[in-house]
Structure 1
């Protein structure tokens, strides 16, 4: 297998998935962040290790695409903005359902909300580990510190089965924090708010 990253190319003879991943990590540097890979023309963005495990013996050329630090930060913040643009409007409907009697679908939507918040946290943690941050980074960390405290209260409400408390926490604490996070991301990205007419 020929492994290519930027201007570097190495040949791996009968590699394991771990050897391929280790080789990729060794070829990346502090100025380049992993984006995705192309295995014999097939672009792979998600769960690359699983793809490699299933196709490793057949792959002739594996090209790893990278991003600069600023591209990495920008692209992740853009993904977060898009997620928040979709998620925030759904929160009101979800809390209304929890104030009444949440259905199985409502519980699934709530779980998706928590998964989304967890994804946001992982993404911001990845940016936090870099050596550059947006100017307003202190606001991001303050929001996530508050969000982590609220999530502990949500966990307690889940354990007690208190759907009204869950709705209160989502509506009055999580949703405003998500809006603040969205505003900070838009400020970082330079997104202008559209005025309502």
Structure 2
């Protein structure tokens, strides 16, 4: 298989024993170029996470791996734009979840609630990366505060789930999560626009 990175091509055998060396090459070249890994394009398919597993599961058939690395500034903008887009799409969905949990939540409502929790986890990871990364001008203290608040609300939400209290879940989403969601949307929008 061919690895294409920064205009250079490296050949590797389609063998699991080659993977560690290949990924070391990718990460060392990205680090040396002071870039951030955005994603891999593997035989035309864009892969944004869990690269190693994706490659390992398809090792026998992969022909090309193109590495897409961007500047830290571009990566931050991409993260903020993705977060903003997600938050904007999620707000109406949160309203539906609240309404349904104040009644008797259906199986579909529970699935959408689960998706909301997955979104919260992704936001938490993004906020962690943004607060820990020194190469941007964002207000790290504000991001850290939002992340701490989100973690506390998530803890309360999980306690309500364990107790099976749909009304408490709806209250927490309505009065805790939703206002924080709106605050995050405004904070992110300010940084995406600027």
- Same-fold call, TM cutoff 0.5: yes
- Determine if the alignment matches structure 1 residue 43 to structure 2 residue 26: no
Q: Which residue of 1 aligns with 2:18?
A: 16
- Determine if the alignment matches structure 1 residue 145 to structure 2 residue 148: yes
Give the Cα–Cα distance (whole angstroms) in 2 for the partners of residues 76 and 57 of structure 1: 32
Give the Cα–Cα distance (whole angstroms) in 2 for the partners of residues 33 and 57 of structure 1: 28
- Determine if the alignment matches structure 1 residue 52 to structure 2 residue 55: yes
Q: Residues 99-110 of structure 1 correspond to what in structure 2 (within 5 A)? A: 99-110=102-113
Q: Which runs of 4+ in 1 moved over 6 A?
A: none
Give the Cα–Cα distance (whole angstroms) in 2 for the partners of residues 142 and 155 of structure 1: 20
Give the superposed CA RMSD. Answer: 2.0
The CA deviation at 1:75 is: 0.3
Give the Cα–Cα distance (whole angstroms) in 1 for the partners of residues 90 and 115 of structure 2: 10
The CA deviation at 1:9 is: 4.0
Match of 2:29 among 9, 27, 30: 27
The CA deviation at 1:85 is: 0.4
Give the Cα–Cα distance (whole angstroms) in 2 for the partners of residues 80 and 142 of structure 1: 17
Give the Cα–Cα distance (whole angstroms) in 2 for the partners of residues 39 and 51 of structure 1: 9
For this pair of structures, how many residues does the alignment match? 190
Contact (CA 8 Å) 2:100, 2:109: kept in 1 or not?
yes
Q: In the superposition, relative to structure 1, how do residues 84 and 53 fare at CA in structure 2: closer, same or farther (>3 Å)?
A: same
Contact (CA 8 Å) 1:34, 1:66: kept in 2 or not?
yes
Q: Which residue of 2 aligns with 1:159?
A: 162
- Determine if the alignment matches structure 1 residue 67 to structure 2 residue 91: no
Q: In the superposition, relative to structure 1, how do residues 9 and 117 fare at CA in structure 2: closer, same or farther (>3 Å)?
A: same
Taking structure 1 as the reference length, the TM-score comes to 0.86
Taking structure 2 as the reference length, the TM-score comes to 0.87
Deviations 1:155-180 (A, max 9, x none): 11111111111110000000000100
The CA deviation at 1:61 is: 3.8
Contact (CA 8 Å) 1:36, 1:43: kept in 2 or not?
no
DSSP 3-state at the match of 1:56: coil
In structure 1, list runs of 5 or more residues that go unmatched: 192-197
